[in-house]
A and B are shown apart, each in its own frame.
Chain A
Amino acid sequence: GIQVEQSPPDLILQEGANSTLRCNFSDSVNNLQWFHQNPWGQLINLFYIPSGTKQNGRLSATTVATERYSLLYISSSQTTDSGVYFCAVGSPLPTNTDKLIFGTGTRLQVFP
């Protein structure tokens, strides 16, 4: 099955810094999503981005499907950005069931 790897696994930032999180996937995908899991365990949908670039405030994401990677940019980080960031993909093969395969995650800690 499709493999999803994220880097870096851990990231420590001071408030105000910028960061880039990467998601690599091993096969063609028909969808890709970025999530933020806050310290209480809630998964928050950040971007639904199977291709192209999107921006939402301090966050933006770019997916280059032909090269099988996606990037999540966080600018001017805040302590509330702390948590785990997951990339998840959907594969059209072997059958298009819409199920998501989650990456390994990046744990972000932002200190004041």
Chain B
Amino acid sequence: SAVISQKPSRDICQRGTSLTIQCQVDSQVTMMFWYRQQPGQSLTLIATANQGSEATYESGFVIDKFPISRPNLTFSTLTVSNMSPEDSSIYLCSVVGRPYGYTFGSGTRLTVV
């Protein structure tokens, strides 16, 4: 299965600032997915990132707040912009491969103060 390196692993940020999260995959993948997990909750898909095209955002998530880049088939970034305490969550990237299914990065634990 693919190996994903995600960083930073955690950060504490001031409200109003932005944080960029990076995910590097050890193999080429067509689609990468970004998820958010709010405290004590399940995972919610933010967007799907395809190389060479704009990301596809799920209902409730907008590009201005969560801009995504996908410059090549092994790398993607998610930026959390103009942060507020409500953005405190774990953010995870994921890729899919056959036949092993989905693999997740180790997550970025974000606290906004």
Contacts and interface: CB of A to CB of B under 8 A. Distances in A.
Nearest to A47: B101
Contacts of B35: 102
A43 B92 contact: yes
Nearest to B92: A43
B96 A98 contact: yes
Interface on chain B toward A: helix, strand, loop, or mixed SS?
strand
Interface stretch (B19-27, B71-79, B102-110): B102-110
Interface in A93-112: 97-105
10 contacts: A41-B90, A41-B106, A43-B92, A43-B104, A45-B100, A47-B101, A97-B31, A97-B48, A102-B35, A105-B42
Interface of B: 1, 31, 33, 35, 37, 42-45, 48, 56, 90, 92, 94, 96, 99-104, 106-107, 109
